């Protein structure tokens, strides 16, 4: 009986600590994005000169533990963790003109997040895409390049995540620079080619895009893909 009481006490303490660190992470992340992101662009030069606030946030992310059963908190945490890690990777090698200037930027460089050592690809593919069937992730995970949908100047939060996912997807798929409709054809970001399986589960890419567009695209419109712009999304 004594052992059970001790275990319950320890579990309660750990839960309180994790809950506190999660709340602190979201609060700190929100302040970070507000201070260093504007119009989808990141103040990399400023952060490179004063990286302490970013390092604090990365260190905080390492202590967070979110169960997948708490789906919205889990998703919001890993979306923010991905976006913050991208910025960290760029700052560690700044000045660079593109994330691709660093070999292995997405699949070799590791970050300590939630007690694990993870690459950006692992966060995206294992922590999010493999766990949830939601292609809207592609419009909130920002790879540090101009070709990505824009980074917002706030954190993704559990209570607002659904609205944020919907808003960012609608913004991207109604943006004529992102979805280029030209009479009988449409040019799509290469995101739709690289992750095609995510967009064709209930039809084709146009069916998916039309779910979020005000001006619908004709179903039989010919699809092509324009070259991805890997230039750095810097202010």
Instruction: State the Cα–Cα distance between residues 3 and 69, nearest whole angstrom.
Output: 27
- Digit-coded pLDDT (tens) for 2-56: 444 444 434 443 444 445 589 999 999 999 999 999 999 999 999 999 999 999 9
Does residue 230 belong to any structural domain of this protein? no
Write out the two tokens for 218: 């004709």
- The pLDDT value given to residue 183: 85
- The pLDDT value given to residue 10: 40
- Digit-coded pLDDT (tens) for 161-172: 999 999 999 999
Q: Residue 224, SS3?
A: strand
Q: Name the domain count of the chain.
A: 1
- The pLDDT value given to residue 159: 97
Write out the two tokens for 131: 């766990």
pLDDT cut 70: percent of the chain above it? 91
- Digit-coded pLDDT (tens) for 208-219: 999 999 999 999
The residue assigned the tokens 């003109």 is: 97
Does residue 235 belong to any structural domain of this protein? no
Q: What number is the average pLDDT over the span 177-204?
A: 96
Does residue 234 belong to any structural domain of this protein? no
Does residue 137 belong to any structural domain of this protein? yes
Q: Give yes or no for a contact between 220 and 163, defined as CB atoms under 8 angstroms apart.
A: no
> What single DSSP character describes residue 228?
P
Q: Give yes or no for a contact between 69 and 17, defined as CB atoms under 8 angstroms apart.
A: no
> What single DSSP character describes residue 188?
E
Does residue 166 belong to any structural domain of this protein? yes
Residues β-bridged to residue 180: 187
Does residue 150 belong to any structural domain of this protein? yes
Q: What number is the average pLDDT over the span 113-120?
A: 97
Q: How far apart are the first and last CA of the chain?
A: 60
* Residues spanned by the domain of 110: 2-225
Q: Residue 182, SS3?
A: strand
Instruction: State the Cα–Cα distance between residues 95 and 71, nearest whole angstrom.
Output: 37
Q: Given pLDDT bands bounded at 50, 70 and 90, which one contains residue 86?
A: very high
Instruction: State the Cα–Cα distance between residues 140 and 196, nearest whole angstrom.
Output: 17
Among 2, 5, 23, smallest CA distance to 13 is for 5
């Amino acid at each position: 009986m004594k052992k059970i009481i001790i275990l319950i006490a320890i579990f309660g303490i750990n839960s309180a600590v994790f809950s506190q660190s999660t709340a602190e992470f979201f609060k700190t992340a929100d302040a970070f994005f507000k201070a260093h992101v504007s119009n989808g662009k990141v103040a990399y030069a400023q952060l490179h000169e004063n990286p302490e606030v970013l390092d604090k946030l990365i260190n905080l992310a390492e202590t967070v533990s979110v169960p997948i059963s708490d789906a919205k908190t889990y998703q919001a945490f890993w979306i923010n963790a991905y976006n913050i890690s991208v910025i960290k990777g760029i700052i560690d090698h700044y000045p660079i003109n593109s994330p691709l200037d660093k070999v292995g930027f997405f699949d070799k460089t590791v970050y300590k997040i939630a007690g694990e050592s993870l690459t950006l690809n692992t966060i995206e593919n294992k922590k999010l895409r493999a766990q949830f069937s939601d292609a809207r992730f592609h419009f909130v995970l920002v790879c540090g390049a101009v070709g990505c949908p824009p980074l917002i100047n706030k954190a993704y939060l559990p209570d607002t995540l659904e609205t944020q996912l919907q808003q960012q997807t609608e913004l991207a798929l109604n943006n004529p620079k992102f979805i280029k409709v030209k009479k009988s054809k449409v040019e799509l970001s290469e995101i739709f080619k690289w992750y095609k399986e995510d967009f064709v589960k209930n039809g084709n890419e146009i069916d998916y895009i039309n779910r979020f567009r005000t001006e619908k695209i004709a179903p039989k419109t010919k699809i092509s893909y324009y070259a991805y712009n890997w230039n750095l999304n810097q202010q």
